[in-house]
Amino acid sequence: MILFTSDTHFGDSRVLKIDRRPFQDLAEHDEALIENWNAVVTQDDELWHLGDVMAPKAADCSTLLSRLNGKKHLVIGNNDTPGVIQCDAWASVQHYKELVIGEQLFVLCHYAFRTWNKMGKKSINLHGHSHGRLKPLPRQFDVGVDAFHLRPVTALEILASRKRGGSP
C-alpha cells in the first residue's frame, strides 16, 4: 500500500500552539504521531512524507525514522534541515515527485500549486505546508497530519474525503 503524510514536525513545540494540536506536551505529541503512523503503515508499505518532518534539535533523524513503519520517501519541505534531508534512512529524497497509482497521476510537493502538470487531464496535487488551512482547488489535497487526523492516509482515503466533504 502507498500512504502519504506531511508536517509531522516531530520535536517542534511550535505546533502545539500554532496548530493547536491536542497534547499536553511535545513528548505526548511525538509518541501519539508515532503510534498513529504505525497503526496504519506496515513495514511493507510505502510512505511519502511531503516535508517538515522534524525540528532541527529534536533528535537524530535515523533514530526517529527507525521507529516508523514503511519504506519512507521524503519530498523536502521548508523546515527540513540538512540533517533530515541527508538522513540515510530515506529510500529517496526530492523536492518534487510525479507518482502514478493505478492509472491516476499524483503530483507531490510540499507546497500547494495553483496549477500543476496534467491538471487538465485530472491529475491530482498532493501537498502539505498549509496545515489544513488552505482552501483547495479541485483535485488538490493537503495530506498533512493536521488535515487527516494526525496520521498518514491512502490515496483512496484522500479521494473519499472530498466526496464526504471533509477529512476521514
Task: Give the pLDDT confidence of 132-155 residue by residue, as tens digits.
Answer: 889 888 999 999 999 999 999 999
59 against 21, higher pLDDT: 21
Output the pLDDT for position 125.
Answer: 97
Q: How many CB atoms are closer than 10 A to CB 62?
A: 12
β-strands 71-75, 46-49: how paired? parallel
Residue bearing the bigger pLDDT, 43 or 158: 43
Task: Assign 20 a pLDDT band (cuts: 50, 70, 90).
Answer: confident
Buried/exposed code over 85-121 (b: 16+ C-beta within 10 A; e: otherwise):
bebeebeeeeeebebeeeeebbbbbbbbeeebeebee
Edge-to-edge strand order for the sheet containing 2-5? 92-94, 71-75, 46-49, 2-5, 153-154
Average pLDDT over residues 84-112: 97
- Please say whether the beta carbons of 131 and 111 come within 8 A: no
The domain made up of 2-164 has a fold known as: Purple Acid Phosphatase; chain A, domain 2 (3.60.21)
- Predicted pLDDT at 162: 67
Instruction: State residue 4's pLDDT score.
Output: 98
Q: Which three cell numbers stand for residue 133?
A: 488551512
Rounded to whole angstroms, what are the CA distances from 143 to 7, 56, 60, 62, 63?
9, 22, 24, 23, 24
Please give the Cα distance from 105 to 22 (Å, whole number).
Answer: 34
Predicted pLDDT at 168: 45
Q: How far is 73 from 28, CA to CA, in rounded Å? A: 25
Model pTM? Answer: 0.94
Q: What is the mean pLDDT of residues 96-122?
A: 96
Tens of pLDDT, residues 48-91: 999 999 998 888 999 999 999 999 999 999 999 999 999 999 99
Residue 74: per-residue pLDDT: 98
From CA 6, how far away is CA 43, in angstroms rounded? Answer: 19
Whether pLDDT at 167 is above 50: no
Domain residue ranges of the chain, discontinuous segments joined by +: 2-164
